[in-house]
């Protein structure tokens, strides 16, 4: 016998099953890249694995930096490193499953 949570809508359609992965919001902010073209953000518990998700840019999470994205990120132990041109500001959103 398996255990888990299943959620159904008013029509009886299953919308969340026990094999689904849900995310939770962890933190958000805005940083400015330093003269070395990056900014570090402390995120307690962060690891470089697939349980952490990062979105850069304005809601709805699209790049808003001219016509081409010139920002990226690296997940590190307890740290999020955001790469951008020196002096540019970047909005970030961190989620975890």
- Contact (Cβ atoms closer than 8 angstroms) between residue 92 and residue 54: yes
Instruction: Tell me which of 3-7, 80-84, 91-95 is least confident.
Output: 3-7
In the structure, what pLDDT confidence band is assigned to residue 27 with cuts at 50, 70 and 90?
Answer: very high
Three-state DSSP state, 57: coil
Residue 37: pLDDT above 70? yes
Enumerate the β-bridge partners of residue 42.
Answer: 79
Phi-psi region of 67 (alpha: psi -120 to 50; beta: other; left: phi over 0): alpha
95, with CB counted inside 10 A (0-12, 13-18, 19+), is: middle
**In 3-state terms, the chain is what percent helix, strand and coil (to 5)?**
0, 45, 55
**In what side-by-side order are the strands of the sheet with 52-56?**
24-32, 89-96, 52-56
């Amino acid at each position: 016998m398996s255990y888990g949570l299943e959620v159904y809508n008013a029509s009886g359609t299953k919308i969340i099953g026990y094999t689904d992965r849900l995310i939770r919001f962890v933190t958000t902010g805005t940083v400015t890249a330093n003269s070395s073209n990056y900014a570090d953000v402390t995120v307690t518990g962060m690891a470089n694995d697939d349980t952490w998700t990062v979105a850069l840019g304005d809601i709805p999470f699209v790049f808003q930096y001219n016509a081409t994205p010139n920002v990226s990120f690296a997940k590190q132990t307890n740290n999020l490193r955001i790469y951008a041109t020196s002096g540019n500001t970047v909005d970030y959103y961190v989620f975890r499953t």
